[in-house]
Structure 1
Amino acid sequence: MDIKNFPKVTIILRGYNYNQTETVINALIGSSINSVEITMNTKGSIDMISDFHRKYGDRIHIGAGTVTNLENVKRAVNAGAEFILSPVLLSREIINFCKENSVITIPGAMSPTEIYKSFEDGADIVKVFPAVECGSKFFKDVKAPLGELPLMAVGGINKENSREFLSNGADFLGIGSGVFNKEDILNENMAGLMNSLNEFEEKIGLEGVKNEW
């Protein structure tokens, strides 16, 4: 996967079972959001990444989240993950392995030093986490001295503040519970999921928006 094709918004799915996760994926098909992160601390995550990549890989980008070690990276990449996200810094060994396999790396960072180090180590995108604690202005403030680096806001992002973060220097968003009602996912309520998705798309206005990387 090339960073130029990396979606603006990725939906983070943590702790949901196979059918619940698949229902969310089906809700996203045809929308302006075509990226899903399945966290590695979700039961059956590797099987889900493999199956959903095979079934929906031509329409939805499937990645692995909460990845912290090389063993899990290899398992996720072998299952078909197109990108890897972590709440912490990633080693150069992990980043190099992903580059060799054309997999996007998105380590987590919270300080300018961590952000700078991640890009020095070869990361494709850096995830500022938890973004809501840093505030939307943090992104422009960091870019002022460090330059136009591709940053993702994750942690506390929702339909009410998404546009604010994008307008203040965040290039990408990772959103967990900020789009859908949890009960709709648990109950596989497609109508409720579609309603929430439509509200989010109207609020954030992603239609036709492309990243510049």
Structure 2
Amino acid sequence: MAAGSLGMCFSPLRRSSPSSHRKFSCNSLSPRLFKTLSDIQSSGVIACLRGPSAELALGAARAAITGGITVLEVVMSTPGVFEVVLVLHELVEEHPTMSLGVGTILNAEDANHAIKVGAKFLMSPAMIKDILADVRGSEVLYIPGVMTPTEILSAHKAGAKIVKIYPVSALGGVEYIAALKKPFPHIPMVASQGVKIDLVGEYIARGASAVVLSDAIFDKEAVVRGEFDAISRQAHVAASVAEEAKKRLNPVQAY
């Protein structure tokens, strides 16, 4: 897919609201890549997991999935590359069709490790050109981190199919997303950093395709103590709030 051609891959959803949200639809995308993009768009939530150990991370991930999470990101920085690979491999074995990815990818080597064990998407806090080049034409979705309008447009022109607005809370939160969507309604955006569950619906209503939820689902103390029922409950609340927000945006089509 040629860089800069993303705008041709969308058709507006049938609704009366502004076209700040687009449903992924592009015949040139592989079925797997299309599914990953669609899963993110449909779910509205990407659960971001940091665990102090592989065992606790697996327990927390399973609890979130039980609670209704359908898109999950395991962060590369903790507990470490080896443990993250183990966790992802185990989750892919258990949920082969689920959209599972790895976050805080900072170099092509770590990206390759994640891809080998089945990551369907990769996230970075910035745009890593080597990663974007490596995944071009593949079935793996790369979501680079961007902050300014210039960075958003540059990432889009370089071939990014969706971008992560980071750190969104420090930049103005919901109002910042809304402002960015005015000149870039055709570029899907994920809101990341410091998002609380009670703001999920507002982020989606103002233009975010999805939000990244970390501590809001995976409370650090709950993870350390292995309180997986609490994590499952938070995951259920987050998934339900996002589902309702998507339905309000598009009452005609079911997600």
TM-score by length of 2: 0.74
CA shift, 1:207, in A, is 5.6
- Of residues 226, 237, 243, the one that matches 1:199 is 237
AA matched with 1:5: D
In the alignment, structure 1 residue 65 sits paired with structure 2 residue 103: yes
In the alignment, structure 1 residue 4 sits paired with structure 2 residue 38: yes
AA matched with 1:199: V
Pairing of 1:122-137 with structure 2 (within 5 A): 122-134=159-171, 135-137=173-175
Distance 1:206 1:16 in 2: 30
- Of residues 11, 16, 36, the one that matches 2:72 is 36
Query: Percent sequence identity over matched residues?
Result: 24
In the alignment, structure 1 residue 159 sits paired with structure 2 residue 187: no
In the alignment, structure 1 residue 139 sits paired with structure 2 residue 177: yes
CA shift, 1:186, in A, is 1.4
Distance 1:100 1:201 in 2: 31
Q: Is the CA contact (8 Å cut-off) linking 1:32 and 1:206 kept in structure 2?
A: no
Q: Is the CA contact (8 Å cut-off) linking 2:132 and 2:160 kept in structure 1?
A: yes
* CA offsets 1:89-143 (integer angstroms, 9 cap, x no match): 120x422322333111100011000011011111121100011112211122112
Q: Is the CA contact (8 Å cut-off) linking 1:181 and 1:196 kept in structure 2?
A: no
RMSD of aligned alpha carbons:
2.2
CA shift, 1:55, in A, is 2.1
Q: Is the CA contact (8 Å cut-off) linking 1:15 and 1:41 kept in structure 2?
A: no
AA matched with 1:18: A
Q: Is the CA contact (8 Å cut-off) linking 2:191 and 2:210 kept in structure 1?
A: yes
| SS, match of residue 197 in structure 2 | coil
Distance 1:208 1:137 in 2: 17
AA matched with 2:128: L
**C-alpha distance 190-175 of structure 1, shift in aligned 2 (>3 A):** same
Distance 2:190 2:242 in 1: 18
**Which of these two proteins has the greater Rg computed from alpha carbons?**
2
Matched residue, 2:60: 24
Distance 2:235 2:73 in 1: 16
- Of residues 14, 31, 50, the one that matches 1:14 is 50
Q: How many residues are paired up? A: 209
Matched residue, 1:169: 207
- Of residues 52, 55, 73, the one that matches 2:94 is 55
| SS, match of residue 88 in structure 1 | coil
Q: Is the CA contact (8 Å cut-off) linking 1:158 and 1:179 kept in structure 2?
A: no
Q: Report which structure shows greater RCO (CA 8 Å, sep ≥6).
A: 2
* CA offsets 1:138-186 (integer angstroms, 9 cap, x no match): 1221121233310000001111221221111111111110124322211
TM-score by length of 1: 0.88
Unaligned runs of 5+ in 2: 1-32, 251-255
**C-alpha distance 116-146 of structure 1, shift in aligned 2 (>3 A):** same
Q: Is the CA contact (8 Å cut-off) linking 1:85 and 1:105 kept in structure 2?
A: yes
